[in-house]
Every structure is written in C-alpha cells, then in structure tokens.
Amino acid sequence: MRTAPHSAFAVSAEVADALENGRPVVALESTIIAHGLPRPRNYEAAREFEQILRDADVAPATIAVLDGVPQIGLDSDGVRRIAEEDLAKASVRDLPMLAAAGASGATTVAATAHLASLAGVRVFATGGLGGVHRGAGTSFDESADLSTLAVTPVTVVTAGVKSVLDIAATLERLETLSVPVVGYRTTVFPSFWLTESAHTIDWSVESAAQVAAIMRSQDALGHGQGIVVANPIPRKQQWDPTEHDRVLIEALDAADAAGMHGKAVTPFLLSYIVHASEGRSLEVNLDLARNNVRLAAQIAIEWSALA
C-alpha cells in the first residue's frame, strides 16, 4: 500500500500505478460484499468482480475502511476481510469515527463514491443504488447515496434501484439534486432484479464512449455532481416477475413486523429476499452486478482515452 498525498487514505500499488499513468480504474463497493450477499458467495463475488476488471486491463479499486484507514484498492487479505469479518456498514458520515477509532467498515455506495473521488477514481460499479425508502414521507429514510452523488463527480453504473424502494420518489430526488440519469441502451429505468420499472428516463446512450463524452461535458458544465448510468439486466436473465412481486410484499411485511428501521432495513430486506426466493434472487443479483462491472470497465477505458 502506498500512502496517497492526502495521507488520510491509502491507495493500492495497482491503483496508484494506473492513476499515475492515466490507465483505467473502476471503484467497487464493499457493503454489497459484507452486507448485500451471503457468505461464501460474497467472497467469490468480490474476487470475480476484480478479475473481470483485470481481464479488461482495468485496475480494480475495491474500497473499504480497514483498521481506521480507507483503502482505495485492497490486497487479497483485504478482500478476504470484507467478506469474512463482521464489518460495520459505513456511509460517508461514519468515516471520521472509524478513522479516529482505528476501526473497520464496509463502505456503501455513498462512502465508496466519496472515497473514490478523493483518490481521483471517476467510474464506479455497484449492484443497485440506494434511494428513497417506501414510507419516507414519514420516516425520512432516504439513502445518503443520493445526496452524496449530488456533490461527488463519480459515474455510478447501477441496475437501477431495488423495487423495495420508492422508485418514483428516488428519481424525483435525483432530479432535484441535479444528478443526471442516463439509460444504457434503454429509456426505461430498471428495477434491479427486473429489466424494467414503471418509470421512463429522458436520456439514453448506446455506447460506453457516449458516457465518457457526457462525463467530459459535465466536467465543463456541471457543479461537481455524479452521473447515474442505469444498466438493466437482460430480460432473459431477470428474476421471474411473479415470484418477485410475491416475495417483495412478504419481505416488506417482514421488515415491518421485525421493527426494522434506519441502516438495518436494506441488509434485512436483501437477506430475507435471498432466503424467500431459495437463492434465485441471488443469482440475478450476481448477474446484474457482473454486468455492471463489465460496462463500468468499458466506460473507464473510454474515459482514460479521453482524459
């Protein structure tokens, strides 16, 4: 690990080399590994996502806080730790406390995007972006993923947002926060396990090069916000919509009955849904995440060619 100029975090040699030489880098989050996927598939997934990037000559920057130090790029022991240790779920606001205490945490989309941008990484692949929770009108539960993207110049490749959230409200908030939402080869916003939601988006692109061109224009015309690239899972790989609708209602009821609130809600729902679907939703989750990593690799390659 090399200490970055901003010595509050560490950058892996692989990522530092790529950044210094203008080669492509893609950030990956650790909350999806620590809290979004069950063991031991989470460890296999973390390694596979990195391998997909390396096979495309893109440096993987998996991000987590280990022993108080935000890591931009993990070594193999770090990857094992995010999969096997019981790490706290860390959003942007948790970073100073973890650092001061020398503690470890798995970073959400918000914290990963923030740290990626501090290190100069511009492209990030996740599974699904956080958003506005159902009932947010009274609970005020809206993921910091949204407000962070309003002030963080990172392009996030996501399969939309999960149908457990209020998708319409999430899209409204992204509009208010002036975060562009661009469909990859679609004008329908995807809903994570399903190719489509009931919502359309204004802008779509046909190629990774077009995303890189939008990033360059946004650097000139924006105010430092990020970009959401909505990348739907191909229809033949999506979860069976009938089973999806049934399990979704069960999961939301179970979360209510268990009195879940705050940051525990998302991990609870994800794990409930994996069990209730006997693992079928998990395969879809892995497929869409791989799909996002592959597209992010292409975008990072196009971006490094432009920049």
Q: Which residues are catalytic?
A: 29, 162
Widest distance between CA atoms in the chain? 53
**Site residues for ligand PSU per CB under 6 A:** 29, 31-32, 35-36, 108-110, 127-128, 130, 143-145, 162, 263, 266, 270
Helix pair 280-306, 265-276: axis angle to 10 deg? 120
Residue 78 interaction partner, one of Mn ion, ligand PSU, none, beta carbon < 5-8 Å per kind: none
Identity of the residue, 50 or 166, whose beta carbon is nearer to Mn ion in the bound complex: 166
Question: Rounded to the nearest whole angstrom, what is the least distance from the CB of residue 177 to Mn ion in the complex?
Answer: 16
Name 270's Cβ contacts closer than 8 Å, sequence gap at least 6: 35, 36, 285
Out of ligand PSU, Mn ion, none, which partner does residue 74 contact, by CB within 5 to 8 A per kind? none
DSSP codes, 221-274: HSSS--EEEE-PPPGGGSPPHHHHHHHHHHHHHHHHHTT--GGGHHHHHHHHHH
145 touches which of Mn ion, ligand PSU, none (CB within 5 to 8 A by kind)?
Answer: ligand PSU
Q: Find which of Mn ion, ligand PSU, none residue 166 binds, CB within 5 to 8 Å per kind.
A: none
Angle at 113 (CA atoms; ends 169, 141), nearest 5 degrees: 30
Residue whose C-alpha is closest to residue 4's, from 22, 19, 21, 25: 19
Give 114 or 162: the residue with its C-beta nearer to ligand PSU. Answer: 162
The residue of the chain with the least Cβ separation from ligand PSU equals 36
Quick one: 182 or 282, whose CB is closer to ligand PSU?
282
Rounded to the nearest whole angstrom, what is the least distance from the CB of residue 170 to Mn ion in the complex?
A: 12
Minimum distance from residue 263 beta carbon to Mn ion (Å):
6
* 150 class by beta-carbon count within 10 Å (0-12 exposed, 13-18 middle, 19+ buried): middle
Nearer to ligand PSU, 118 or 213 (CB): 118
- State the burial class of residue 210 (Cβ atoms within 10 Å of its Cβ: 0-12, 13-18, 19+): middle
CB of 245 to Mn ion, least distance (A): 24
Q: How many C-beta atoms lie closer than 10 Å to residue 66's C-beta? A: 23
Residue number, 41 or 263, with CB nearest to ligand PSU: 263
Radius of gyration of the chain measured on its C-alpha atoms:
18
Which of 294, 269, 299 shows the shortest CA–CA distance to 51? 294
- For residue 89, the minimal CB distance to Mn ion (Å) is 10
| Footprint of Mn ion (CB under 5 A) | 141
Residue 294 touches which of Mn ion, ligand PSU, none (Cβ within 5-8 Å per kind): none
Q: Which amino acid is at 149?
A: L
**Min CB(100)–Mn ion separation in Å:** 23
- Closest Cα partner for 41 from 295, 268, 276, 284? 284
182 binds, among Mn ion, ligand PSU, none (CB under 5 to 8 A by kind): none
Cα dihedral 129, 133, 136, 141 sign: negative
Residue closer to Mn ion, measured from CB, 139 or 217: 139
